[in-house]
Amino acid sequence: MKKISIFIIVLIGLGLMFSCEKKEAEPVLDMSKTQKATLTSPEGGSSFILERVKMDSVLTTFVWNAAQYNLTHLEDVKYSIQMDLADSNFMHSRELINTANTSSEIIQVDLNDLLLGLGIFPDEARDVEIRILSFLNSASDYSNIYSDVTTMNFTPYSNEIYPKLWVPGEYQGWDLATAPKIFDFDTTGVYKGYIYFPEDAPNFEFKFSTGVINYGFGGDGILDPNSDQNLTVPGPGGYNVVVNINTLTWTGYEATESWGVIGEWLAWAEDVNMEWDATKQYLHVTVENIPAAENQRFKFRANDAWIINLGANDPDDGFLTPGGADIPIPDGGTITFILRFTTPEPSYEIIK
């Protein structure tokens, strides 16, 4: 009987022990033990001058140490890189980056738009404060933790320096805000630009617009600001148009221009066709495995022929001229070629 009593007591003890184990508290996220992220590059005090001709290039790469929470097996940490004018206490901060990585390349045009949105004037050097928000999910702000603030100096460029006309049409939903633009680079009332009409457009009707005055069809090559009839082009493709609002005339609707890249590695015999980016309003193509060679060079040309071709000025200043010099790319590799018609003269950029 005594043995049975002892056995029962042991069972009760074991039951209590396991019961206690079950009641142990689950691990808790303790934010007091969290290590905040730290921006390591660029260094505080760095200064950057942004350039319009390099708008799609990488200005710098932001690198930071990861935030560390006191628990393991958590979901991935997310990071939001926020910027605001110095001494503003981030009251009107803008988000530059949102990522789960601990580094991110900064493209000039993206940063420039953010800086202008903060109220910084073009060509004005201003101190900007930067911080990193680390968090686990957006359902709650409990896991939010901010880095120390880093101050840098930035000078943006103007992205609207010339008079412009919008070109809304059926091909882009008649949306003035997102319509491509052509520019009066000499402020003489003559506007120039490249307009691309996709193959799947419902039709190829459009107008030139100041936002107030809409120029419609007044006859072949003639504009009428009072016309209800839309302008049109024969079909899909790119058109280099010239609009003269002094004489109410326009040209460029007669033929399309399909642009490509041609070079030494192609024996100057065939083109790599470029694609149109409707948002950024430029032509682009990425070519891989270009052989490195001392004489490796390229040019842009239209319609797979040499009648219209663009090469570099002498010296090379990033702008292009008809029949200009071959452009050297001796290092080869993978290169993104960009061709713009939104500058006073056609311009180019190569991104490696």
HSE-CB at 124 with a 13 A cutoff on CA atoms is 11
Tell me where in the chain the CATH 2.60.40.3620 domain(s) lie: 164-251
The CATH classification of domain 164-251, taken from the options 1.10.10.350, 3.90.550.10, 2.60.40.3620, 3.40.50.620 = 2.60.40.3620
* Strand, helix or coil for residue 83: strand
What is the distance between the alpha carbons of residues 173 and 188, in angstroms, rounded to a whole number? 30
What is the distance between the alpha carbons of residues 281 and 178, in angstroms, rounded to a whole number? 10
pLDDT at 7: 47
Q: Which CATH class is domain 31-155?
A: mainly beta
pLDDT at 292: 94
User: Nearest CA to 111 among 49, 173, 170, 31?
Assistant: 49
pLDDT at 15: 53
pLDDT at 8: 46
How far from chain centre, in Å, is Cα 3? Answer: 81
User: Nearest CA to 291 among 270, 263, 325?
Assistant: 263
For the question of whether the overall pTM of this predicted structure is more than 0.75, the answer is: no
pLDDT at 24: 55
Mind listing the pLDDT tens digit of every residue in the chain (352 residues)? 555 545 444 445 555 455 555 555 567 778 888 899 999 999 999 999 999 888 889 999 999 999 988 777 778 899 999 998 898 788 778 899 999 999 999 999 999 988 887 878 788 899 999 999 999 887 778 889 999 999 999 999 887 678 999 999 999 999 998 899 999 988 899 999 999 999 999 999 999 999 999 999 999 999 999 999 999 999 999 999 999 999 999 998 878 889 999 999 999 999 999 999 988 889 999 999 999 999 999 999 999 999 999 999 988 888 899 999 999 999 999 999 999 998 888 988 888 7
pLDDT at 69: 87
* Strand, helix or coil for residue 286: strand
User: Nearest CA to 301 among 265, 333, 270, 275?
Assistant: 270
pLDDT at 235: 92
Tell me where in the chain the CATH 2.60.40.10 domain(s) lie: 31-155
Please state the length of the chain.
352
> Tokens representing 15?
């039951």
Burial of 167 (0-12, 13-18, 19+ CB in 10 A): buried
What is the distance between the alpha carbons of residues 334 and 351, in angstroms, rounded to a whole number? 9
Q: Which CATH class is domain 259-351?
A: mainly beta
